[in-house]
Amino acid sequence: MGSSIPSVAIVILNWNGKALLERFLPSVVTYSGEAQIVVADNASTDDSVSFVNQKYPEIQVVVNEENYGFAGGYNKALEHVDADLYCLLNSDVEVTPGWLEPIFSLFQKRPDIGIVQPKIKDLNKPTHFEYAGAAGGFLDLFGYPFCRGRIFQTLEADNGQYNDTREIFWATGACMFIKRELFRELGGFDPDYFAHQEEVDLCWRAHNQGYQVLYAGASEVFHMGGSTLSNMNPKKTFLNFRNSLYSITKNLPKRKAFPIVFSRLLLDAVAALRFVFQFKIRHAWAILRAHLSYYRHLPKTLRKRERKQFVEKYAVTTSIVWSYYVSRIKTFDILVKD
């Protein structure tokens, strides 16, 4: 990418989100300098597209033929976008002055970087980190994702403890910067995920190709969250549990992947029972369906496995479930001693 400032396209995926575009596009336009801004529309049935065309004629609009979800929607739209960096930005994110400069600086300094995410804070509670990404994503041994600043439903206050720049394992799809060449080398997101955890898989595959994923604490955005599927939606439970099994199967050596998948069968059963005891029967059923869907698609998933070297070290703790619910560890700095 060289020492010059890279060109960046900020690509906002939209589906029937006119109200979100009205609220959040102004900050993106105001604080994004010379960046190209693109709205990728997933076959909306509201008047999102006409709103953007009329209100922001300088913004490029790419219209997908149907709703391909997060993964397929970005894959289709980015075929029509040309820039050194793609910034994949949720439609419910408010950006801040100077948010791009720390990102550009990292990509210029380190050619091994493939993906970067900024600090993600909660728009509704600006003193705290936000669920989707917080201060960078990690995995435990069993493939369960969590973040610095957010473990399960515990969200930390931002007291400057994560103002650093450091390597992380996965970057959130709510606001992710990725080199165009890497996105294309990886073949984009796996469309079979539809939504949720496709960014974990993409980052895992980037690691397997020798790229680094970084968190830039000097760049800050605010995410409203829950505008597509809330945390209490059984469909989200289904997608999260199934897609994490997909990622384990695709991105680990078989000698590691299948013992972990077997362990997940037991651990996820415990999670389902917990939902039953909480009278959240639809969520328990979603976990069962996630496993059935995973096994039904297992032959196809195995065919997607990377043929190159696998990253052996991916987990920063053995079991986030045990640490959180049994050991009562609620914050990343206690969980992982740097």
pLDDT tens, residue by residue, 314-326 = 999 999 999 998 9
Same domain, 41 and 138: yes
Q: Token digits for 81?
A: 């976008």
User: In CATH, what number is assigned to the domain containing residue 203?
Assistant: 3.90.550.10
Spatial CA neighbour of 118 closest among 143, 87, 151: 87
- As a whole number, mean pLDDT of residues 4-26 equals 94
Residue 3 covered by a domain: no
Domain's final residue, options 161, 189, 223: 223
Is 90 exceeded by the pLDDT of residue 172?
yes
Per the domain annotation, does 285 fall within a domain? Answer: yes
Arithmetic mean of pLDDT, 2-26: 91
**297 and 207 in one domain?**
no
245 and 192 in a single domain? The answer is: no
Residue 122, SS3 per DSSP: strand
Residues 155 and 65 in one domain: yes
Q: How far apart are CA 40 and CA 59, in angstroms?
A: 10
Q: Identify the H or E element spanning 287.
A: helix 281-296
Cβ atoms of 203 and 170 within 8 Å: the answer is yes
Of 170, 195, 223, the residue at which a domain comes to its end is: 223
| pLDDT for res 227 | 47
pLDDT at 308: 61
Confirm if 91 and 221 have CB atoms less than 8 A apart. no
Same domain, 272 and 193: no
Residues 150, 156, 157, CA angle at the centre, nearest 5°?
145
Tokens of 172: 């959130």
> Tokens 């705290």, residue?
128
- Give pLDDT, residue 309: 72
Q: Helix crossing, 281-296 with 234-251: angle to 10°? A: 30
32 with 96, same domain: the answer is: yes
Q: Answer yes or no: is pLDDT of 233 > 90.
A: no
Do 141 and 31 lie in a common domain? yes
Cα(97)–Cα(118) distance, integer angstroms: 13
Quote the CA–CA distance of 25 and 207 in Å, as a whole number. Answer: 32
Lowest mean pLDDT among 218-222, 227-231, 259-263: 227-231
Confidence at 312, pLDDT banded by 50, 70, 90: confident
Distance between CA atoms of 104 and 82, rounded to whole angstroms? 17
Q: Write the CB contacts of 94 (distance below 8 Å, at least 6 apart in sequence).
A: 24, 27, 123, 221, 222, 223, 224
pLDDT at 1 over 70: no
Asked if residue 279 belongs to a domain, the reply is: yes
Which residues neighbour 320 within 8 Å (Cβ) at sequence distance 6 or greater?
140, 144, 146, 151, 152, 335
Amino acid 229: pLDDT: 47
In the structure encoding, which two tokens stand for residue 7, read together?
Answer: 């060109």
Report the number of distinct structural domains present in the chain. 2
pLDDT at 4 over 80: no
Residue numbers of the domain that contains 86? 8-223
User: Residue 2: pLDDT band by 50, 70, 90 thresholds?
Assistant: low
Percentage, residues of the chain above pLDDT 90: 89
326 and 183 within one domain? no
Q: Is the pLDDT of residue 337 over 80?
A: no
Residue 2 covered by a domain: no
Name, in order, each residue with C-beta under 8 angstroms of 159's C-beta and a sequence gap of 6 or more: none
Q: Which residue has the tokens 């639809």?
A: 282
Predicted confidence (pLDDT) at residue 311 exceeds the cutoff of 90: no
pLDDT of residue 6: 83
pTM across the whole model: 0.94
User: What is the distance between the alpha carbons of residues 109 and 273, in angstroms, rounded to a whole number?
Assistant: 49
What pLDDT, on a 0 to 100 scale, did the predictor assign at position 195?
Answer: 86
Residue 165 burial by CB count (10 A; 0-12/13-18/19+): exposed, middle or buried?
A: middle
Say if strands 85-89 and 8-14 run parallel, antiparallel, or are unpaired.
Answer: parallel
**Average pLDDT rounded to a whole number, residues 252-264:** 93
Q: By the 8 A CB rule, do 42 and 14 touch? A: yes
Pick from 53-67, 74-88, 231-245, 277-291: least confident: 231-245
Is residue 71 located within the same domain as residue 218?
yes
The reply to whether 228 falls in a domain is: no
